[in-house]
Structures are given as C-alpha cells and as structure tokens.
Amino acid sequence: MTSIGSRIAVACVMVLAISGCDRAPGNPVSDPPVPRPEAELNFDVLYQQNCAGCHGADGKNGAALDLANPEYQAWVDDGALRRWISKGMPQTQMPAFAISAGGSLTDKQIEVLVRGMRQHWASTVPAQLIRMPLYLQPADADADHGKQVFGQYCASCHKGARQEITSPDYLALMGDQALRTIIVAGRPDIGQPDWEHEAPGRALSDQDVSDVVKYLASLRISTPGQPYPGHREGAE
C-alpha cells in the first residue's frame, strides 16, 4: 500500500472513531431530557397516571365514581373537586394527591386536572339541576325516615346480588359524601339512576337523600370483614 493510501486509510479510521464518540457510554446524547414529574402539565397524561386506575380510562366504567357523568360535573363545584383531589375523601379509598398532603402533585397540576375534567366532561347545566339536592351531606338527618325511604324506593333493586350496598363491609369503604353523590348524581355507566329517577313517580327530596345516607351510615361497624369465615367463638 502506498504512503498516500495508508494516510487515507488512517484518516477514514479516525473519522469513524470520532463520529462514534458521541455514542460512547457516559456521553450526553442529543435526545431531549425527560421532564421532571412536577413539570408535567398535560391533562391526559396526568389523568392516566393518577386517576384512570380507579375512575376509568375515559372517566367511566371504573371501580370508583364516573367523573365523566355530566350530571355530577354540573353538580359538584370546582372547590370540592380541588379539595377531594388535594386532600382525599374521608372514609373512602380516595387518597390525597397534593404534595402538601403527602401526595405527588403540585397545586398547578391539580388545577390542570380540575380544568381538564370541566373541559372534557362538563356540559350545559340541565334545567333539573336547579332543584337538585344540596351537595354536602348534613350532619342532622333522620336515619329512621331514611330506612323507610330506602325500603320504599331503593330496596327493590338493592337485593340479592346487589344487596351489598347495605353490607357493613361495603359501607366501610364508602363515606357519607360518596354515598350522597351516587344517590344524587347516579352512575349511568353501571345503570344506577339519579335522585330524580330513583323514586318511581317522583324525585327524592333533599331530605330523603340526607336521611337515606344517614340510615346507610348507621349500618357501618368498627370491624368490617369480621367474623372471618370458619371463625369459632373463643377460638385462638
């Protein structure tokens, strides 16, 4: 090989070596950096990462309340949505997501979730919502009257395989406000009617709803899930 040919060969090897240096282990690459978790402000990403597992991929057909129910979105206000996301909902499996409450979301990300839910699922307020029961469950309700209302308007559906609504084990996972929300807004994704269609021939009144929730709350026990199957009194 001539000296010129040797020089060309050496030059080619050096060019190839240099061109591969940017892919060597430890060298920075040209791909954009992965954003920090707190920098994510896309509603779809935040919802899928934090909400879809319980509330369903499209806000419905999940184990928890269907957020895509326009009746619920019209009934609940921004403050309540923000509060439940930030601090969790008492007496339910809904955890706190705000960093200030031990979660992983910033206030700005929670605001993105609230605004995104409104944009995706809120619709024009139907006329009947003007006379809907109040949002918050009051403390002073009548459990005895609630039992009568439940027996007259609810028990016909919640029997047999669906009797679990009166089960202490189920009620241990459902707080008063969660029960009120399902009774008033319904769950159209699973065929649960709202307050207006729960009672044949008439809508449930605000007092009816409050009293039914009070009755169901009275069925809770402090040790749900007991006695265990096969447990014998006095057994170690």
CA distance 80 to 215: 24
**Which pLDDT does position 229 carry in this prediction?**
55
Closest by CA position to 135, among listed 52, 66, 213? 213
User: Average pLDDT per run of 10 along the chain, which is 236 residues long?
Assistant: 56 52 59 81 96 94 92 92 95 93 96 96 65 91 96 85 77 92 92 85 92 96 70 51
Architecture of 37-128 per CATH? Orthogonal Bundle (1.10)
**pTM for the model:** 0.74
**CA nearest to 176, candidates 206, 134, 218:** 218
pLDDT of residue 236: 47
Q: Is domain 135-225 given the CATH code 3.60.15.10 in the classification?
A: no
Domain with CATH 1.10.760.10 in the chain: 37-128, 135-225
Closest CA to 129 of 185, 171, 78: 185
- Is residue 98 within 8 A of residue 85, CB to CB? The reply is yes
CB atoms within 10 A of CB 163: 12
pLDDT of residue 198: 78
